């Protein structure tokens, strides 16, 4: 599990890479479930929350950079 503090320190490219990795992990776990292999259902929930947290930080950074550009234009 990643904390928000760790995510804020990352660049947008790193955040996008993190989201892709987390989504790949989720897909792998779901594939294992379909194949009837024992899986940890709690892990999927945690990974989904990590994806949401990462996307939230990514969107906040996008809004902050856009507002900074608007302020500079005034």
In the chain, where are the structural domains located?
12-73
At 1 the pLDDT is: 72
pLDDT recorded at residue 21:
97
7: number of Cβ within 10 Å: 20
Residue 16 sits at the vertex; the CA angle it makes with 56 and 13, to the nearest 5 degrees, is 110
Q: Residue 66: which of 58, 39, 36 has the closest Cα? A: 58
In the predicted model, residues of the chain with pLDDT beneath 70 are 69, 74
The pLDDT score that the predictor gives to residue 20 is 97
């Amino acid at each position: 599990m990643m904390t928000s503090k760790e995510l804020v320190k990352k660049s947008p490219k790193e955040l996008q890479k993190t989201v892709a990795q987390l989504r790949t992990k989720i897909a792998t776990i779901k594939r294992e479930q379909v194949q009837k292999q024992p899986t940890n259902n709690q892990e999927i929930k945690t990974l989904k929350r990590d994806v949401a947290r990462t996307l939230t930080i990514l969107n906040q950074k996008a809004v902050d950079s856009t507002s900074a550009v608007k302020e500079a234009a005034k």
